[in-house]
Structure 1
Amino acid sequence: MPFSFYMGWWLLIPVCLSLLYGIISHHVLQIMEYPQKDTILGRLGNSLPALFLFTLWSIINIPLPVFYILAFFTKVIRLYRRGESRSRELFLINITHLTTMALHMVLIGVFSLAVQTSMKELLQYPFWRIFTISMVLIINNLVALLLPRWETIMGVLRTQAESAEVRPFMMFLWFCNIFLLLDSILCMADVGWDLLPLFLVGSTVLMEFYLIRFLRHLYLVLKVYYLEEEHLRLTKELEQQNQDAAVLRSKSEQDSMTGIYSRQYLIDKARELLERKVPFSFVFIDLDHLKRINDREGHHAGDIYLIQFTEEFASHLRDTDIFARVGGDEFVVLLLHCVGEKAIERMDLIRSRLTVDLKPGFSFSYGVSYVAEDTADSLEQIFHKADQAMYRDKQTRKY
């Protein structure tokens, strides 16, 4: 029987490859949102269990099933974190261990066929142990480098593995791991069948084929589930944004103190009426005595005076009229389909009721600018005409 114990420079190959795999896989685990210590010691520490096991197997011919069981527990040590989702960790442990074990067994079977020797005898040689495990580490390093670009695999690995669709696949992973572990016993058995390596390679490749098919199917199922969840999330966000926009729009359309329309809303509405060529009267109002009340009784009393005025004034308007506060004590009313003379009559009647019928009353001055369907005046000119008319009314009145 060939000598199976080895100590030499060739051991540096699995050592270096194990360290490199620990560093590369550390980055992949971070992408998949697994908690990792982002330090040099943390990255090297993650590599030590596998490095020790692979080096030991290269030195001593540990029985292959025992080697695979120990390799499984090295992944458990690295990935099984307290406080994390258990199903998520087991999912990643099982699938990575399964693919690594399958690759290793395929290499053993292929090399056994190539050199025309049994798998048991092949593993007695340190060279083949080092060579096969090094090939596995090289391929794992390449896969770890390319893995972030594979949307299907990353989409499955990122899942929490807790949905009803994933649980059957977890059972399949456990079955495949146990199946390969039992197959590895055949690698150590004295079976006088030359085609045994071919049988193991074929069954392992077939199993890997079904694994890839299951992964793709699982990805498609999870993708639909993710899209549904994302659609619901985006729908809720859109509804919230619409609600926020409605609140902001309401705030921009209303005067914060009096609750009537704001200056901006009035301007937008007036321009809309001009574009649609709707006739209306533009009434500019200046409330009297507000400065006197502020000086004598304070601004709080002045605010109450403003609010009471708007309530009383608005009670005499039609539903189609637009009443807005455009300044401190300045207001504008848009009287739709109301000619200038009719608008003046309505304003005189409202002023009479607010000053005579109410105790204490509300005195104000106003000016009317009638806007016909075919007017050529701009909104600024209309505003200016109403302001000048209000100023003349204030000068001629005694209050």
Structure 2
Amino acid sequence: MTRRLHIGGQMAADSWELFNITENVGVDHVGNAKDLSRFRDRTFGEIYSSHVLEHFDYRDMPIALKEWHRVLDSQGKLFLSVPNLDVIFKLFLDKEKFNKQERIKFIQMVYGGHVDNHDIHNVGFDRDIILDMIRQAGFAKCEFVKELGIFNDCSKIEVDGQLISLNLIAHKEKLEDFINPPVEEEEKSKICKDVMFFMSLPRLCFTDNMFSAINAVKGLGLYGERFQGVFWEQGMENLLEKAIDKGYKYGLAIDYDTFYTMYHVLDLYNIIERNPDVGIISPLQPRRGNKYPMSGTFQDPRGDNVLVSKGGFDGGIKPVDTAHFGLTMIRLSELSKLKKPWFQSKPNEKGDWHRGHKDADVNFWIKCKSAGIKAALAEVWIGHLQLMCSFCGPVEENFVTYHEEINTVLEGGLPKWTIPKSFKEKQVLTKS
């Protein structure tokens, strides 16, 4: 039987276990919802939480979401409702329609009612912020809905015909479900004739992710080659030329630190086949140490300023000027529009390699735009392997593991509970 947890619940309900920070009739579990250590991993099939998440502060809120993610089973769902600041602020500012007493209620929706020590709001959400938090917690998919349709609570409140809540369902899905089924032989026979892949590899590298490449190219029957060494631009150009000489239609550039499956490759292939005017297609891949994708549009002809890609897709693609080579499909016939060398670094106006210079990859995208080669971002999501540094959490959080990006740590961004006492007390260590 599927177990269901209602976080913040106060009234007993069939098939739902109630979890609340205060004792009450019908409450099954009393505690702070950022710590669900009493439950094993994958205990619940569903979790429901309405107007609870905003009570955590900025440090505890992501911890709580990760805990909720942890205790959901592999196909579990999180039914979540939080105050929608976009709507509430709009209502509050309409002084012609709402009197002072009504506007005070809007303030309480933002800051909490303060009826007890727990009825205080510490964070706020709009659509983009809550979506970002949900994804960072590890949920695979999120859908906004008008109603959660389970309990009669704040998630249903409307003012002036507008819901004051963001209601959503977040799904925790197993990636294995997407990579096991084989590709049909008819699809495989077509793509393996059209696509040659090539990989940029250092002489020594991590091997954790090599099975992304092995499983993808094996599953699709693709031929490919690698290049190594410090002369990246030479390797790229040489293998693109080889793909042209061998009669392939597309070259597929792959970085060894990219996570993908053969179905991601198949999606890219299908998209570029449907769009014959597009010369280069790249999937969504995050920048290293940055929350935005490695893609955008140039704000000037020299490509000095790049506006990051935002907004939706039209027919599965979005025009861009620059992207990446993590898993990028290049229509080889389009390269005839470029003057050689295709890949070449360029110094700045002073002739040096400081600010304003163009690396070979960026200069390639500038050349493509100048030559009229259309580049596009595909509605395809791939991963980017990035080194993380893990710490045990503080005592009060039961040492739950905390992750931080390595660049942040190397620049001095340590979690405050891990800072050595000798540093905090400004003591000098003596030799023993």
| Bucket of the pairwise TM-score, normalised by the shorter protein | under 0.3
Larger radius of gyration: 1
Higher relative contact order (CA closer than 8 Å, sequence separation 6+): 1
TM value normalised by structure 1: 0.19
The structure with the largest strand share of the pair is 2
The structure with the largest helix share of the pair is 1
